[in-house]
Amino acid sequence: MAHRWRNTLTAADVTPEPIWMNRRQLIAGGASGLGLAALAGRAQAQSALEPNSWEEITTYNNYYEFGTGKDDPARNAGGLRTDPWTITVDGLVDNPGEYSLADLIGGLTTEERIYRFRCVEAWSMVVPWNGIELADILNRIGVKSAARYVAFETTVQPDVMVGVRRRVLPFPYVEGLRLDEAMHPLTLMATGIYGRDIPNQNGAPIRLVVPWKYGFKSIKSIARISLVAEQPPATWNRAAPHEYGFYSNVNPTVDHPRWSQASERRIGGGLFASREPTLMFNGYESEVASLYEGMDLTKFF
């Protein structure tokens, strides 16, 4: 990568960048009512980057292998076997094989990243992740020039996964990224939250985090990484292609067929908290919009 993304979003030092972005959007949208709107934008930007609590992040989850309710993963994921952990690396790579987690990520730089997280169901959180840039892992395994996409697969442990036994979705859960998305410095392979090991319900021992995409792209408990030439299958895209596209970039102007994506409910905001406007690319527009230049985002949703 040409540059390593610098994390300015710490709890101690609330970033000025989203405030700057809001102001720029206000200016772009005309200066009427600037005073009040700028204040509102500032308040929203600051509250939006206050991390959610450990409790909120680890008890309100989507991990269908452990059930479809938001509290099912915290209740049911205790039996997931995460040690030892093997990740199969195959496809168009120089160094394929069965890697232990330590061999795959040992010696690479662990980052702390506070990211907005936006679920397709129009709720959101802010999560302080610890992890490694996926690009560093891809460079270690050596991507061949014919590779254009990265495919991921979640482990399947039917004896401890009640959702797998009930076949609530076709498993293994699979996801994919275009290679330039995968190599982007914002794309993280998370191994921790709040400096602690990532809990099973959040995707132990290693899961993807792509902060400008809807949450379902961030596949948990990864057991296989494949470099491929063709666009790989993705679980929700395969299950309901009219509702979930391959790209699934957060986009307030492209609604889900059954609900609006223009706003979101911040988890932990309280019963009477007002909804917050959803930001283009979940607030990471200045970093990632160039990846999609010339693409019709209503077609490639």
Contacting ligand MTE (CB under 6 A), which of 65, 133, 181, 264? 65
Q: How far is the CB of 253 from ligand MTE (least distance, A)?
A: 21
Task: Give residues with Cβ within 8 angstroms of 146, minimum separation 6.
Answer: 92, 229
CA Rg, the chain, in Å?
Answer: 19
Q: Which is nearer to ligand MTE, 66 or 292 (CB)?
A: 66
Q: How far is the CB of 35 from ligand MTE (least distance, A)?
A: 36
119 binds Mo ion per the rule CB under 5 A: yes
Quick count: other Cβ atoms within 10 Å of Cβ 144?
A: 11
266 binds ligand MTE per the rule CB under 6 A: no
What are the backbone dihedrals phi and psi of residue 199, each rounded to the nearest 5 degrees, phi first?
A: -65, 155
DSSP 8-class letter at 93: B
64 binds ligand MTE per the rule CB under 6 A: yes
Q: How far is the CB of 92 from ligand MTE (least distance, A)?
A: 23
User: What distance in Å separates the CA atoms of residue 253 and residue 137, rounded to the nearest whole number?
Assistant: 34
Q: Which is nearer to ligand MTE, 87 or 143 (CB)?
A: 87
Kind of pairing, strands 263-266 and 123-133? parallel
Q: How far is the CB of 100 from ligand MTE (least distance, A)?
A: 20
Task: Give residues with Cβ within 8 angstroms of 139, minimum separation 6.
Answer: none
- Ranges assigned E (strand) in 86-200: 86-91, 97-100, 111-118, 123-133, 149-154, 174-178, 188-193, 196-197
Q: Which is nearer to Mo ion, 96 or 172 (CB)?
A: 172
Q: How far is the CB of 238 from ligand MTE (least distance, A)?
A: 13
218 binds ligand MTE per the rule CB under 6 A: yes
Question: Which residues in this chain contact ligand MTE in the complex, by CB under 6 A?
Answer: 61-65, 119, 154, 173, 202, 215-216, 218-220
